[in-house]
């Protein structure tokens, strides 16, 4: 159930990201929406804080389980929430294989 839900969220969010990239004119168009109002800036700051907390957790979790954290950290910095979602999806397979 968890794996199915994570997969559904990853696919749906990836499609939303693709649509946002297409509509906003590329990667630099997405952040421009966040500087147009204080509400947008708050949402962007919240995203940065949440992803930063996840980066710290992911670093510690990967090291504790013997995984290389760097691909996931880079994916998170480049793709936002897609990186952590992929990490969570692959986390179970690594743990169950050990």
Quick count: other Cβ atoms within 10 Å of Cβ 13?
15
Residue-range definition of the domain harbouring residue 51: 2-97
Which pLDDT tens digit goes with each residue over 47-68?
999 999 999 999 999 999 999 9
3-class SS of residue 67: coil
User: Are 83 and 14 within 8 A, CB to CB?
Assistant: no
Alpha helices in the chain (DSSP H): 2-24, 29-32, 38-64, 70-79, 82-97
Tokens of 56: 């710290």
DSSP states along 21-33: HHHHTSTTHHHHG
Domain count, the chain: 1
The answer, yes or no, to whether residue 36 has pLDDT greater than 90, is: no
Which pLDDT score is estimated for 27? 66
- pLDDT average, residue stretch 33-43: 79
pTM: 0.76
């Amino acid at each position: 159930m968890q794996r199915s839900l994570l997969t559904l969220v990853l696919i749906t969010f990836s499609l939303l990201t693709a649509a946002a990239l297409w509509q906003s004119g590329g990667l630099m168009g997405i952040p421009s929406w966040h500087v147009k109002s204080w509400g947008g800036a708050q949402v962007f700051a919240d995203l940065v804080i949440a992803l930063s907390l996840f980066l710290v957790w992911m670093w510690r979790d990967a090291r504790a389980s013997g995984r290389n954290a760097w691909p996931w950290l880079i994916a998170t910095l480049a793709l936002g929430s897609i990186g952590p979602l992929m990490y969570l999806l692959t986390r179970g397979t690594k743990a169950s294989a050990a």
